[in-house]
């Protein structure tokens, strides 16, 4: 199940809901450690990587990024 499908299901929305599309169009992404580490691997390791899957460092960076995003998402600082 994709992150989009999981989100729609968790929000108890019908499968044809426009909510996920609306979020995507506005640059909102939903990620967990797995999807974030794959994104980090794609961006920083790229096609020239000597490995196919995210490394332990990619997973550590994903955890740190998610923690920082969560921190700022609940802060009172202006956007």
Looking up tokens 């909510």 gives 19
* pLDDT band for position 77 (cuts 50, 70, 90): low
Same domain, 22 and 45: no
Same domain, yes or no, for 48 and 74? yes
Give me the domain span that covers residue 15.
Answer: 1-30
- What pLDDT does residue 59 have? 93
Q: Would the pTM of this model clear 0.85, i.e. be above it?
A: no
Measured distance CA(9)–CA(25) in Å, rounded: 19
For 37-70, how does the pLDDT look when each residue is reduced to its tens digit (9 = 90+)?
999 998 888 877 788 889 899 999 999 999 998 8
Whether residue 13 sits in one domain with residue 47: no
Read off the pLDDT band of 79 (50, 70, 90): low
Do 62 and 78 fall into the same domain?
yes
Domain match, 40 and 70 both = yes
Q: Is the dihedral of CA 68, 6, 47, 37 positive or negative?
A: positive
Helices (H), 11-55: 19-25, 33-40
């Amino acid at each position: 199940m994709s992150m989009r499908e999981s989100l729609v299901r968790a929000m108890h929305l019908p499968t044809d809901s426009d909510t996920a599309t609306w979020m995507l169009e506005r640059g909102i992404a939903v990620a967990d450690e797995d999807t974030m580490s794959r994104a980090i691997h794609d961006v920083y390791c790229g096609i020239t990587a000597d490995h196919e899957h995210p490394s332990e460092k990619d997973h550590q960076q994903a955890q740190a990024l998610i923690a920082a995003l969560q921190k700022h998402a609940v802060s009172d600082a202006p956007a």
